[in-house]
Structure 1
Amino acid sequence: MNFITNLFRRKSSKKITLAKEQILQLLTNVTAKEKQLIFVKESLKPLLKGEGYKTIGNNWWKINEPFFNLIELQNFSWNSRNSVDFCFNFTTGFTSDVKIPTKPTIHDGIPNVRESYFGVTKNDYWKGANSYHIDDSTDLEKFTEQVLKDFNLLILPKFNLLTNENSIVSFYSDEFWGPRVKQSLTLGYKNVRIDN
């Protein structure tokens, strides 16, 4: 049988089952770090790209002149191949405060908040203080489903609305960030120092 004929020949259900088992075996041998990379590459980046965010590394941003919104994935120093904790930092700021116009950073923004600011609560994969957790036993499909649910239902509907002064002041209205955001907006540049 030649290559072309073999390629288009129907596979037996036994061969299909064997192929599925091999795929499952490969997935169970994936380290926690590899699971995180798969999640970012195959799920998070496409989601944020579809929402209009540009990316470099673990930073995603969207320009809404004269403002920008930025999401940063932050890994923790204690991570290992088999156990990964990470969080997302979010900021909004003036495009004029971005030091490198093609690459904004979390430090270019005014506030710096995490998932809980958007109403994300503890679940199987978000532990609160240390944020999201992946280890060798993490079901990547369920993990991905949960994090995308957090982004689609809680984070992006609020974060994507931060496109003008009123929406920014309204969203960042807590005791700590509220005065700093208002002061920066009044001045027209980032100024997070509040003198009492």
Structure 2
Amino acid sequence: MDFLSNLFRLKPSIDPTLQAAPGRSGKEKQLTFIRDSLKPLLKAEGYKTAGNKWWKFNGSFFNFIELQNFSWNSMNSVDFCFNFTTGLTTDIKNGNKPTIHDGIPHIRESYFEVKKNEYWKGANGYHIDDITDLDRFTKQIIADFELLILPKFNSLTNKESIVDFYSDEFWAPRIKQSLALGYKDVRMDN
């Protein structure tokens, strides 16, 4: 056998334990996480669901969470984030099912002081792939929700709590204006 033929021929693995074991893809792991952990957590907190969207009514207000997958995802590598909003129930255009667009502010995980960690990368949100340890991934995100996100988000039940929470220089004037008007109006005329 000449050198090139020998170089490019298929060679069996020396150690069978080094061969890739069939496992679940990143997408399958994400779906398992959503079905087995996230949906039950949010349901226990009183959220209704449709697909990857969850909402909860608090009198004349609602809180809304949406899981957004990114367009560049593949079966084995999935980046996703959570979008959050709070709004007036009178602004819901589709009966009792709000959308992210019905709310006043549009924020992400970082607004709740989620810090970069093994699975949350900041701008691109969370990452899961075919080699991700699903148990560790689940524990991290559920901890983010239980310790950082839900205690703050679930407290947004009246005008005062909403104004206090969305107090940054961008959202505060828009929140105050919309609450004063009684409907969503995020346009700020100077």
Query: Could you say whether these structures have the same fold, taking a TM-score greater than 0.5 normalized by the shorter chain as the test?
Result: yes
Aligned to 1:122: 116
Matches within 5 A, 1:36-185: 36-185=30-179
Equivalences, count: 170
SS class of match (1:45): helix
Measure the CA separation in 1 of the matches of 2:131 and 2:31.
16
Q: Provide the C-alpha distance between the structure 2 equivalents of 1:176 and 1:102, rounded to a whole number of angstroms.
A: 28
- Structure 1 residue ranges without an equivalent (≥5): 1-24
Identity of aligned residues (%): 72
Q: Summarize deviations over 1:61-95 as a string: whole Å, max 9, x none.
A: 00012000000000000000010000000000001
Superposition TM-score, scaled by structure 1 size:
0.86
User: Residues of 1 paired with 2:123 and 2:153: CA distance?
Assistant: 21
Q: What is the one-letter code of the residue matched to 2:160?
A: N
Matched residues in 1 for 2:25 and 2:131: separation? 9
Report the 3-state secondary structure (helix = DSSP H, G, I; strand = E; otherwise coil) of the residue aligned with 1:122: coil
Determine the structure 1 residue equivalent to 2:182. Answer: 188
Corresponding residue SS for 1:186 = helix
Counterpart residue number, 1:10: none
- The DSSP-based 3-state class of the residue aligned with 1:156 is helix
Which is richer in helix?
1
- The letter of the residue matching 1:130 is N
Q: Cα deviations across residues 92-121 of structure 1 (Å, max 9, x unaligned)?
A: 000110001232100000000000000101
Q: Which blocks of at least 5 consecutive residues in structure 2 are unaligned? A: 1-20
